[in-house]
Amino acid sequence: MASTITKIPTKSLLKHLISSSPKPPVSRFFSTAENRTQKLERIADELLDLTKLERCDYSILFRLKLGLNRYGPSVSGVTSPGASAPGAGSGAAETKAAEKTAFDIKLEKFDAAAKIKIIKEVRSFTDLGLKEAKDLVEKVPVVVKKGVAKEDAEAIIKKLQELGATAVLE
């Protein structure tokens, strides 16, 4: 059984699908369904006539209008009542400080005599090669490790301070 494939232009196919769709059984819906169908058909025809660049711009605009942009949810005027209450700002700052779980370790300065020991220590907790660790240490002040738990970060800072470096938790 050989099948014949006929290439139908997209506009014709869309019109065929819309016109062959079943109509609602109740006669009072015919006029609104036909109006909606004509409107959707017109919109579909206009979308098909757009160039690739115009389609891209349209898709971005459509996502923004729906609040589906990739940068997060759309900002609406609705806020929680607690956030707009006076004095709530200080409580929010305290909870944000308490919520912080990942810290950065910043190497601010070190003794020149202890440079080799500090490079070795930086290599041990960053998994960097010798050259990368040396370059990192020489760029002081620099963040040597990001996103570390507070307990681990304090242990690393203590080791660096014992070697003669000044390191801080950020």
pLDDT given at position 11: 58
The pLDDT value recorded for residue 85 is 46
CB burial of residue 133 (10 Å; 0-12, 13-18, 19+):
buried
112 and 165 assigned to the same domain: yes
Distances in whole angstroms, Cα of residue 43 to Cα of each of 24, 36, 40, 91: 21, 10, 5, 50
Domain hosting 15: range is 10-66
CATH number for the domain including 122?
3.30.1390.10
Kindly tell me the sign of the dihedral angle through the C-alpha atoms of 20, 26, 32, 36.
Answer: negative
Residue 80 forms part of a structural domain: no
User: In the predicted model, what is the mean pLDDT of residues 12-25?
Assistant: 54
- Let me know if residue 85 belongs to a domain: no
Establish if 61 belongs to a structural domain.
Answer: yes
Q: Give domain status of residue 95, yes or no.
A: no
Last residue of a domain, one of 18, 45, 66: 66
| Per-residue pLDDT at 80 | 47
Confidence band for 124, pLDDT divided at 50, 70 and 90: confident
Handedness of CA 17, 18, 19, 22 (dihedral sign): positive
User: Count of domains in the chain?
Assistant: 2
Confidence at residue 8, expressed as pLDDT on a 0 to 100 scale: 54
Take residue 99 and report the two structure tokens written for it.
Answer: 């919520």
Question: Given pLDDT bands bounded at 50, 70 and 90, which one contains residue 18?
Answer: low
Q: Do 119 and 137 contact (CB within 8 A), yes or no?
A: yes
What are phi and psi for residue 107, nearest 5 degrees?
-90, 115
- Is the predicted pLDDT of residue 170 greater than 60, yes or no? yes
Q: Is 128 exposed, middle or buried (0-12, 13-18, 19+ CB in 10 A)?
A: middle
In a shared domain, residues 60 and 106 = no
| 154 falls within a domain | yes
Q: Can you tell me the mean pLDDT for 42-58?
A: 88
Domain membership of residue 139 (yes or no) is: yes
Report which DSSP code applies to 84: T
